[in-house]
Amino acid sequence: MNSDTSDREQSVHQQLAVEIAGCFSELPQVEAVALSGSRGRGAGRTDTASDIDLYVYTSGSVPLESRRAIVARTGGASVANLDLNYWGAGDEWFNTPTGIEVDIVYFEARWMEEQIARVIDRHEASLGFSTCFWHTIRQSAPLYDPKAWFAGLQERCQVEYPEPLRQNIVRLNHPVLRGVIPAYAHQLDKAVARRDLASINHRVAALLASYFDILLAANRLLHPGEKRMIDFAVHNCSMLPANFEADLEAVLLLSAAQVSELPKRVTALLDQLDEMLVQKEFSWVIKLSAEEARAERETTELQQRLLTFERQYHLTSEEFYRQYEAGMLGDSADFMEWSSFYDMWRSAQEYLNSMRRKA
- Which pLDDT score, from 0 to 100, does residue 42 have? 47
Residue 53 · residue 35 · CB < 8 Å: yes
H or E segment to which residue 161 belongs:
none
Statement to judge: residues 47 and 144 lie in one domain: yes
Statement to judge: residues 27 and 117 lie in one domain: yes
Among 281, 306, 330, the domain-final residue is 281
H or E segment to which residue 101 belongs:
strand 101-108
Listed residue (189, 191, 192, 188) closest to 210, CA to CA: 188
pLDDT of the chain, 359 residues: tens digit per residue: 444 544 555 689 999 999 999 999 999 999 999 999 755 554 444 455 578 999 999 999 999 999 999 999 999 999 999 999 988 899 999 999 999 999 999 999 999 999 999 999 999 999 999 999 999 999 999 999 999 999 999 999 999 999 999 989 998 899 899 888 889 999 999 998 988 888 998 999 999 999 999 999 999 999 999 889 999 999 999 999 999 999 999 888 887 677 788 888 899 899 899 888 887 677 776 666 667 767 777 787 888 888 888 888 888 999 998 998 888 888 888 888 988 888 888 888 887 777 656 55
Between CA 113 and CA 119, with CA 118 as vertex, the angle to 5 degrees is 110
Taking the model in full, what pTM does it have? Answer: 0.76
Question: φ and ψ at 159, to 5 degrees?
Answer: -65, 160
End-to-end CA separation in angstroms for the chain:
49
pLDDT tens for each residue of 127-148: 999 999 999 999 999 999 999 9
**Number of helices (H) and strands (E), helices first, in the chain?**
15, 6
CA 285, CA 313: separation in Å to the nearest integer? 42
Task: Tally Cβ neighbours within 10 Å of residue 347.
Answer: 13
Residue 116 · residue 133 · CB < 8 Å: yes
- Which pLDDT score, from 0 to 100, does residue 83 have? 93
Q: Report the number of distinct structural domains present in the chain.
A: 3
H helices of 222-282, in order, are 229-236, 244-254, 262-279
Statement to judge: residues 7 and 129 lie in one domain: yes
- Which pLDDT score, from 0 to 100, does residue 357 have? 63
| Cβ burial 276-286 (10 Å sphere, 16+ → b, else e) | bbeeeebeebb
Statement to judge: residues 15 and 144 lie in one domain: yes
Statement to judge: residues 36 and 126 lie in one domain: yes
> How many alpha carbons lie under 13 Å from residue 246 in its C-beta half-sphere?
5
SS3 (DSSP) at 107: strand
Q: What is the mean pLDDT of the chain?
A: 87
CA 219, CA 55: separation in Å to the nearest integer? 27
**84 DSSP 8-state letter:** E
Report how far apart, in Å, the C-alpha atoms of 235 and of each of 194, 207, 229, 230, 269 are: 37, 22, 10, 9, 19
Statement to judge: residues 226 and 134 lie in one domain: no
Statement to judge: residues 177 and 272 lie in one domain: yes
Listed residue (115, 4, 9, 7) closest to 55, CA to CA: 115
Statement to judge: residues 145 and 183 lie in one domain: no
Among 263, 281, 299, the domain-final residue is 281
The amino acid at 87: W
CA 17, CA 6: separation in Å to the nearest integer? 16
- Which pLDDT score, from 0 to 100, does residue 297 have? 74
Statement to judge: residues 246 and 325 lie in one domain: no
Statement to judge: residues 293 and 205 lie in one domain: no
Q: What is the dihedral of CA 170, 173, 175, 178, to 10 degrees?
A: -120
pLDDT tens for each residue of 179-206: 888 899 999 999 989 888 889 989 999 9
Domain limits for position 253: 164-281
CA 18, CA 34: separation in Å to the nearest integer? 10
Statement to judge: residues 40 and 126 lie in one domain: yes
